[in-house]
Amino acid sequence: MRSSLLLSFLLAKLLLSAQTGPGGVGTSTNNVLWLSADQGITESGGLVSAWSDRSGNNNHAYPPGAIPGARPSYVVNSANGYPALDFDGSDDQLWVQDHSSIDLTQWHFFMVLRVDLQKDYNAWMVKGDDSDENFEVLSYNDGNIHAPTKYSDGTRTHPSTAGGQVTTSGFNIIEYSYRSADGRDIYKNGSSIHTDNENKTPRTNNLPLYIGNERSTSGRELNGDIAELIAYNAPLNATQRILLNNSISAKYGLTLSASDLYVQDDPANGNYDHEVAGIGRISSSDQHNDSKGSGVVRMNNPSGLNNNEFLLWGHNNAPMDAWGVTDYPVSIEGRVARVWRVSEVNGTGSAVNVGNVDIIFDLNGLGSVTASDLRLLVDTDNDGLFADETPIAGATGIGGGNYRFAAVSALRNGRRFTLGTNNGSTTPLPIELLSFTATDASDEVRLDWATASEANNAFFTVERSGDLERWEDVVEVAGAGNSKQRLDYAAHDHSPLNGTSYYRLRQTDTDGSSELSAAVAITRTSTIEAYIYPMPFQDRVVVETPNEQLLSVDLFNMAGQRLKVPMEGSSDRTTLDTYTLPSGSYVIHVLTEKGALTSTIVKGQ
């Protein structure tokens, strides 16, 4: 692809703030969609009912309500210990409601996927109808990648790569970028598999983004697995591509065919596979010098980052607490179990020195922190131990729960680092939540959770929702304050919702800061008492829940788009003004204090 000096300059200006997108590349401004199966999944009985967007743009994915049971399966340990969603090739699919952030005229996509059955057609991600696509990625029987686009001038192109790019033998990273000034590029595991000089503007639409299927077609349901989908609203520069590919390949245990620079994910180096991020520079107009990603470590301000040099880091997935950790110098009182390791290399993988760097730790959720208590530990002799190292002091608070060690010179290729405290009273290490579960117990729901350690833990609050948007407190349970042994807790929801509901655990420290667990779903088989009439309807639809408080009513068309129609009513009755709607089928979602109901309704001629 032809480079753009102007774009590179603008990207460099954006990088003055930390990049919190995947692999430390992008922010919510340009990272418009980020779906990863290891976070934000709501499932019941192994079937997915929601996939939350991590980009900050609320482009969450849901099964189509009009197709009961069309829900992909949640499969644990699909790739390197990470989960994926399995689509059965029959009706499984997810829809992302249309939003301006995903109506794209240029883009850069990363997809981690594999097929279970090679067929025509496996639709991975499509926005629009067949032959009228804003963008589309699907694969054919021979495993080639097909990427058609309809343009604003009414023309359409539909290029395909060579075969064998998507396989049944394992996951691959498929990457697809487009901008009219530079054309189209498709990559597999970092290497180019298609390029062209297409220079037209894609035509956007107001239709949902389909994942695992294509709208208004049949036989294109995906028979395969998706572990991660990432979308940017403009192509990345070459440095960012290298950093993100290394992050994804480390996470899923994949091998890059180009620029495989982060080697600390190799088993021989200790499997530092997790939340890999990095900084780097190919040239003065193509660089990325401030990165954080989804982890707690941010690095920036390299003093000697030269052309074709990179610094990447990832961790061993140990918890951010001190439970059972004894390997630390006698001069400090503890360290977190999590350890990071760096690759500081050039484009051929040879060791380099990018100079001093600032290391910032995001300690939100850690509890009380006094900056002068923090100690950075670097394994300078590379023996895998920290007890023989000299702690590095000098951390300063920079706001927002972030603490900076400035101009750190101790990092070198292959070295490990971690974080300790000099005072376990004023800067204790945090609570570790081992588990949180919800169990249907006839007329109530039992909530159980366990902690391995607690620091300044004031109390827990169990929260409940019927739709993953509106949450209410169910019960509050006192915490142990400080503990270094396993503690088990139990509580009950004595008035649970019917149907599917969601629970999460909020842990609050003595200083008022709090942290949320992931949500867990539970489905109760009883139904709510709701009356929807007349059927078929004409100018209005009435929803009554005579014995329950009515919380919300939402109306969708069969494409999954939420419709804005006038409503009025009381706590147990709502009337929808449907005069302007065309005849046909619709989906209505009713939420009460006792549960939810989804039903297909019909407007007559």
Sequence-distant (6+) residues with CB within 8 A of 288 are 15, 19, 24, 25, 237, 239, 240, 243, 278, 279, 280, 281
Domain co-membership, 216 together with 317: no
Full-model pTM: 0.74
Single-letter amino acid code for the residue at 324 = G
CATH assignment of the domain containing 504: 2.60.40.10
- CA–chain centroid gap for 538, Å, is 42
Sequence-distant (6+) residues with CB within 8 A of 126 are 133, 135, 136, 137, 138, 209, 210, 213, 214, 215
Instruction: Classify 470 as helix, strand or coil.
Output: coil
Is 12 inside a domain boundary? Answer: no
Domain co-membership, 402 together with 481: no
Instruction: Say if residues 335 and 325 touch (Cβ distance below 8 Å).
Output: yes
Domain co-membership, 108 together with 156: yes
Q: Across the strands, what pairs with 436?
A: 449
Which of 92, 121, 118, 96 is CA-nearest to residue 212?
92
Q: What is the Cα gyration radius of the chain?
A: 26
Task: Indicate the Cα dihedral angle 251, 253, 255, 259, nearest 10°.
Answer: 30
The span from the CA of 273 to the CA of 131, in Å, is 40
Domain co-membership, 377 together with 268: yes
Is 283 inside a domain boundary? Answer: yes
Q: State which of 360, 390, 421 marks the end of a domain.
A: 421
**What Å distances lie between residue 506 and 137, 429, 459, 519, 572, CA to CA?**
39, 18, 8, 10, 30
Single-letter amino acid code for the residue at 234 = A
Q: How many Å from the N-terminal Cα to the C-terminal Cα in the chain?
A: 53
Instruction: Say if residues 458 and 367 touch (Cβ distance below 8 Å).
Output: no
φ, ψ of residue 167 in degrees (nearest 5): -125, 165
- CA–chain centroid gap for 69, Å, is 24
CATH assignment of the domain containing 156: 2.60.120.200
Task: Indicate the Cα dihedral angle 576, 579, 585, 587, nearest 10°.
Answer: -20
* pLDDT at res. 69: 78
Instruction: Identify the domain containing residue 596 by its residue range.
Output: 531-603
Domain co-membership, 545 together with 501: no
- Reported in sequence order, the residue ranges of 307-366 that DSSP labels E, i.e. its strands, are 309-315, 334-335, 340-346, 357-362
Sequence-distant (6+) residues with CB within 8 A of 399 are none
Is 427 inside a domain boundary? Answer: no
* Cis before 121 (ω within 30): yes
- CA–chain centroid gap for 194, Å, is 28
The span from the CA of 40 to the CA of 203, in Å, is 31
Task: Indicate the Cα dihedral angle 228, 53, 233, 265, nearest 10°.
Answer: -40
Q: In this structure, what token pair is assigned to residue 573?
A: 């009755």
Number of domains in the chain: 4
The span from the CA of 122 to the CA of 143, in Å, is 9
CATH assignment of the domain containing 541: 2.60.40.1220
Is 10 inside a domain boundary? Answer: no
pLDDT along the chain (605 residues), means of 10: 35 51 94 95 87 94 82 94 95 95 98 96 96 96 96 95 95 97 95 96 96 94 97 97 98 96 96 97 96 94 97 93 84 92 97 97 84 97 96 95 96 97 79 80 86 81 83 91 83 83 86 78 72 84 86 81 85 89 85 76 80
Q: What is the 3-state secondary structure (H, E, C) of 59-77?
A: CCEECCCCCCCCCCEEEEE
φ, ψ of residue 286 in degrees (nearest 5): -145, 85
Domain co-membership, 170 together with 267: no
* pLDDT at res. 8: 35
User: What H or E segment, with its residue span, contains residue 52?
Assistant: none
Single-letter amino acid code for the residue at 313 = W
DSSP per-residue string spanning 183-237: EEEEEETTEEEEEE----PBPP-SSPEEESS-BT-SS---EEEEEEEEEESSPPP
Instruction: Say if residues 318 and 325 touch (Cβ distance below 8 Å).
Output: no
The span from the CA of 70 to the CA of 88, in Å, is 9
Domain co-membership, 342 together with 414: yes
Is 325 inside a domain boundary? Answer: yes
Is 513 inside a domain boundary? Answer: yes
Domain co-membership, 176 together with 106: yes
Q: State which of 499, 524, 549 marks the end of a domain.
A: 524
Domain co-membership, 231 together with 266: no
Domain co-membership, 62 together with 180: yes
Is 243 inside a domain boundary? Answer: no
* pLDDT at res. 18: 65
Q: Across the strands, what pairs with 550?
A: 592
Q: State which of 421, 453, 484 marks the end of a domain.
A: 421
Domain co-membership, 94 together with 231: yes
Which of 560, 546, 571 is CA-nearest to residue 598?
560
Which of 528, 556, 529, 435 is CA-nearest to residue 490?
435
Is 214 inside a domain boundary? Answer: yes
Instruction: Say if residues 557 and 603 touch (Cβ distance below 8 Å).
Output: no
Which of 478, 499, 501 is CA-nearest to residue 490?
478
Domain co-membership, 276 together with 225: no
